Amino acid sequence: MKRYDWERMDEAERAACLARPLAGQQDGVEAVVRGIFGQVAAEGDAALLALTARLDGVLPDRLALGPVDFEMAGLQVAPTLRQALGEARERLRAWHAAGAPRGFELETAPGVSCGRMMRPIRRVGLYVPAGSAPLPSTALMLGVPAELAGCEEVVLCTPPRADGRADPAVLVAAAMCGIRRVFVLGGAQAIAAMALGTESVPRCDKLFGPGNRYVTAAKRHAAALPGGPAMDMPAGPSEVLVIADAGADPAYLAADLLSQAEHGPDSQVLLVTDRADLLETVAAELERQLRTLPRADVARRALAHARLIRVARLEDAFALSNDYAPEHLILALREPRAWLERVRCAGSVFLGDYAPEGLGDYCSGTNHVLPTGGAARAWSGVSVASFQTAISYQEVTPVGLAAIGPCAVTLARAEGLEAHARSVLRRLEDAA
């Protein structure tokens, strides 16, 4: 793993240090995605089956799952796992319910009432990855806020296992959220199906879920189509940035870095500290922990583009972090809350030595579907609001029209829009 001294680097070197893996290889990915969308648009379900056979190496006997599949899945999931999923679901519901947006109404002038009402998105498409491992937790992270928002129809796609079936734990998690419309379908072809619609898969109004760079590119492509679906956020390869001080435990830091590195070879992990000796200690600890890590090969490939960075002051670490805008930000500091105000761009923040990122991935209550690739500069993680639209309304009495109508006339004429002005003037004249 490379070590960097932030103080000795110029702006170009710093930008290169914070570059994401594979950032320059998107053209080829986008070309593949365009081809998949074209094939699905032309051939529908037949294309989905052909693409699944070619890309996943398996041909499911059907795309849509039914009640028997859910019943079998329930029998295959161990009681301990079912209980853990249930506990995680309850904490997710509590957190998401507390943060759900509410409608409101107020009088902005005498006789003028303005409000906002929240409405669920009618049909949403959820993507639950299973590339290197099935992710039932993601089914909860997406299903819980969709259920709380009151979406009329929820469609879920998840890749097939080697036997052509969906992972049982994913189905159990989906059922816990009231989701029954599930398709054994993964990758960019799943996104294309939910964006375009096929004989089996319905066309969705908004797409949600993390995935690899092909899935992320597919979501972007879908959102750019004329009349295409909205997307939750860019949520691609996972990443973590850790800011540590002299009191941080090197074993904890190494474990946190590896918890992201094992996601996939295109994941990125960064450790930033003002202590050069800590970087060396953590590097040695990483090697020690890798020896017993089941996914060590995957983690080692990710660590090839890890960054161990020394800064002169912790204040510089926060400036660096805000520029990078990490998906996960761990503050391994003695007084993490005192530094929280300095965080401007991050998907989710973990405070102190006893809040490992793994808790947020599964069961603390916050959502793990977060913006990646620097998108946290302007995007937020999934919430109930992600599954709703906010519709404004206004009601005006004759008194209200008299109070604010002249203001509207003046502004309309300043913009050269006389028809706007006359739509107000006619009513003012009639009310006079």
Query: Burial code of 242-275, b = ≥16 C-beta within 10 A, e = fewer?
Result: bbbbeebebebbbbbbbbbbbbbbbbbbbbbbbb
- Catalogue all structural domains in the chain, each as residue range(s) with its CATH number: 2-7+237-377 (3.40.50.1980), 44-232+384-388 (3.40.50.1980), 397-431 (no CATH)
| pLDDT at 24 (0 to 100) | 58
CA distances (Å), origin 141, targets 126, 138, 181, 382: 10, 5, 17, 8
Count of residues for the chain?
A: 432
Burial class (CB in 10 A: 0-12, 13-18, 19+), 154: buried
Whether 260 has a binding-site annotation, put simply, is yes
Closest of 303, 292, 234 to residue 262, by C-alpha:
303
Cα–Cα nearest to 212, from 19, 359, 45, 33: 33
Which of 262, 328, 357, 368 is the catalytic position? 328
Dist CA 423 CA 432 (whole Å): 15
Q: Can 43 be counted among the known catalytic residues? A: no
pLDDT of residue 85: 98
Closest CA to 325 of 359, 307, 306, 348: 348
For residue 361, give Cα distances in angstroms to 130, 138, 232, 336, 340: 15, 9, 18, 20, 20
Answer whether 276's CB lies under 8 Å from 310's CB. yes
Candidate from 119-128, 186-195, 262-271 with smallest mean pLDDT: 262-271
Q: Which amino acid is at 274?
A: D
Active-site option among 327, 335, 368, 429: 327
Cα separation values, 245 from 84, 191, 285, 300, Å: 33, 42, 16, 25
Q: Give me the DSSP letters along 394-431.
A: EEE-HHHHHHHHHHHHHHHHHTT-HHHHHHHHHHHHHH
Residue-level pLDDT at 134: 84
Q: What's the token pair of residue 173?
A: 């998690």
Residue 263 annotated in ligand binding:
yes
What confidence score (pLDDT) does residue 23 get?
61
* Ligand-binding site membership of 127 (annotated): yes
Predicted pLDDT of residue 275:
96
Share the mean pLDDT of the chain: 96
Residue 221 annotated among the catalytic residues of the structure = no
Q: What is the pLDDT of residue 332?
A: 98
Backbone angles phi, psi at 120, to 5 degrees: -70, 145
Least confident of 23-27, 110-114, 154-158, 374-378: 23-27
Q: How deeply is 11 buried, as exposed, middle or buried, from its count of CB atoms within 10 A (0-12, 13-18, 19+)?
A: exposed
Over residues 59-110, the pLDDT tens digits come to: 999 999 999 999 999 999 999 999 999 999 999 999 999 999 999 999 999 9
335 is in an annotated binding site: no
Sheet holding 268-273, edge to edge: 2-5, 307-310, 268-273, 239-244, 328-332, 348-351
25 annotated as a binding-site residue: no
The answer on whether 415 is annotated among ligand-binding residues is yes
DSSP state of 333: S
Annotated binding residue at 354?
no
Q: What is the pLDDT of residues 17-57, one digit of tens each?
A: 999 987 656 778 999 999 999 999 999 999 999 999 999 99
256 marked as part of a ligand binding site: no
Residue-wise pLDDT for 156-203, tens only, equals 999 999 999 999 999 999 999 999 999 999 999 999 999 999 999 999
